[in-house]
Amino acid sequence: MNDSSARRLDYKAHILIGYASSGKMTVICRWPHLPRQTEVQRAIDTLQEGYATFLLCTPTAIMPAKGNGERKQNSSPRLG
């Protein structure tokens, strides 16, 4: 796998997400390029946890987060 913390996440990134049968999703790996199937399979093969399925995604929206992982409020809260 790669060092995902050192690379910037942008619209060219590709993210491998594991989806567990419980509904929990986890980012497993990310690449700054479109990975070959062998790269994706290698990342899957190194996992200790079992997942029901895997998703290879490219972000279509990137939203800023607060330091604790919560989303920032960019608009006024809805009333009512």
Task: Determine, yes or no, domain membership for 2.
Answer: no
pLDDT along the chain (80 residues), means of 10: 56 92 94 95 92 92 74 57
pLDDT score of 9 = 76
Indicate whether 9 belongs to any domain: no
**5 in any annotated domain:** no
Range of the structural domain that residue 28 is part of: 14-57
Is 80 inside any structural domain?
Answer: no
Report how many domains make up the chain: 1
Question: Is residue 28 included in any domain, yes or no?
Answer: yes
Quickly list DSSP for the chain. Answer: ---TTSS---TT-EEEEEE-TTS-EEEEEEESS---HHHHHHHHHT-SS--SEEEEE--S----B-TTSPBP--SPPPP-
On whether residue 69 sits in a domain, the answer given is no
- Is the whole-model pTM more than 0.85? no
